[in-house]
Amino acid sequence: MFDYIKGILEDKRKTDKGHFLTVDNNGIGYRFEISSSDYELLPEKGNEIKIFAALIHKEDIMFLCGFLNRETRDIFKILTSVSGVGTKMGLTLLGEFNLYELISLVQSQNYKELTRAKGVGPKLAQKIILELKDKLMKVNIAGAVNETYSQIPEEYSESVSILQSLGYEDKEISDAFKKAAIKRGESQEEILRSILTILSL
């Protein structure tokens, strides 16, 4: 129903029920629940903002979850496809781990680290890995770089593999690396964030 909403950040607040923001678009205020990590990246009130949306429809309520980029929204949808991982748990996981960490933990089957997230016990962590590994392990994170990336240095192969596992086409990734101003010494996380920013434009 909604892909994204662009407007003015009218309000942002933390409560004991979660993190929320309101975007004013042509006089209509759209309220989103967001992760703690996205909340920390929000601009000051009064600035324009673009929020990617996920409409949550339950028996007795409808509400919007918001994300600062499309990729995080897509991972949220994959996470909440796991039985036992609801909206709150999905946002909690995205608040505790960035995309790179979350994908890496699933790919390496490190369920113990997943239990860092509030409310995630060992059984649920193992279930998350079991149900997501096929979706997020299309490419071995330590695999070699495809010949399409002959212009991409070998040290970036980990980021390339993660992007492939998210479903990006070879040409999309290659073009994004050409546009990115990657500095020597940047971590895989920083590189991945830069590339995802370009891919979401």
CA distances from 125 to 53, 91, 114, 142, 194 (A): 26, 15, 6, 23, 28
Last residue of a domain, one of 44, 67, 90: 67
Could you read off the pLDDT of 14-32 as tens digits, one per residue?
998 899 999 999 999 999 9
Last residue of a domain, one of 136, 161, 185: 136
Q: Which domain holds residue 131?
A: 70-136
Are both 54 and 26 inside the same structural domain?
yes
Are both 50 and 83 inside the same structural domain?
no
Specify the number of domains making up the chain.
Answer: 3
CATH number of the CATH domain containing 194: 1.10.8
User: Six-digit token pair at 187?
Assistant: 């971590």
Are both 128 and 174 inside the same structural domain?
no
DSSP element (H, E) containing 13: strand 4-15
> Is 141 within a domain?
no
More confident residue, 90 or 157: 90
- Percent of the chain residues past pLDDT 70, beyond the cut: 86
> Is 31 within a domain?
yes
> Is 18 within a domain?
yes
Are both 80 and 42 inside the same structural domain?
no
Handedness of CA 23, 1, 193, 34 (dihedral sign): positive
Last residue of a domain, one of 67, 90, 109: 67
pLDDT band at 182 (very low <50, low <70, confident <90, very high): low
Whether this prediction's pTM lies above 0.85 is answered by no
Are both 128 and 86 inside the same structural domain?
yes
User: Six-digit token pair at 136?
Assistant: 């997020």
